[in-house]
Amino acid sequence: MPHPVVGELIDLLQLERLEENLFRGQSRDIGTRFVFGGQVLGQALSAAQRTVAEHGRTVHSLHAYFLRAGDIEAPIVYQVERTRDGKSFGTRRVSAIQHGQQIFVMSASFHVDEPGAEHQLTMPEVPRPHELDPPDPIDPLKFSHISAKLQRWLSQSGPFEFRHVYPRDEIKVPKRPPFQHVWFRLIDRVGDEPTLHRALLAYASDFHLVGTTTFPHGISYLQANVQMASLDHAMWFHRPFRADEWLLYSCDSPSAQGARGLARGMIFTAEGRLVASTAQEGLIRVSG
Q: Residue 80: which residues within 8 A CB-CB, separation 6 or more?
A: 21, 22, 23, 47, 48, 50, 51, 92, 93, 94
What is the spatial distance between Cα 187 and Cα 162, in angstroms, rounded to a whole number? 10
What does the angle CA 64 – CA 168 – CA 175 come to, to the nearest 5 degrees? Answer: 90
Q: What is the DSSP letter of 231?
A: E
Greatest CA separation for the chain: 60
Instruction: Tell me the HSE value of 249 on the side-chain side, using a 13 A CA sphere.
Output: 31
pLDDT at 53 over 90: no
Tell me the mean pLDDT in the region 70-85: 96
pLDDT digits (tens, 9 = 90+) for 208-245: 999 999 999 999 888 888 999 999 999 999 999 999 99
Q: Is 80 exceeded by the pLDDT of residue 140?
A: no
What integer best gives the mean pLDDT of the chain? 92
Q: Is position 223 annotated as part of the catalytic site?
A: no
26 is known as an active-site residue? no
| Confidence at 147, pLDDT banded by 50, 70, 90 | low
SS3 label, residue 54 = helix
- Is 120 in the active site? no
Q: What is the pLDDT of residue 29?
A: 76
Catalytic residue among 49, 230, 250, 253: 230
**What percentage of the chain has pLDDT greater than the value 70?**
92
Of 49, 180, 206, 223, the active-site residue reads 206
CA distances from 68 to 23, 32, 45, 72, 91 (A): 19, 15, 18, 12, 24
Whole-model pTM: value is 0.93
The mean pLDDT value for 279-284 works out to 97
Separation of CA 189 from chain center: 19
Distance, in Å, from the CA atom of 85 to the CA atom of 286, rounded to the nearest integer, reads 45
Closest CA to 106 of 94, 115, 121: 94
Whether residue 142 is predicted with pLDDT greater than 80 in this model: the reply is no
pLDDT greater than 60 at residue 129: yes
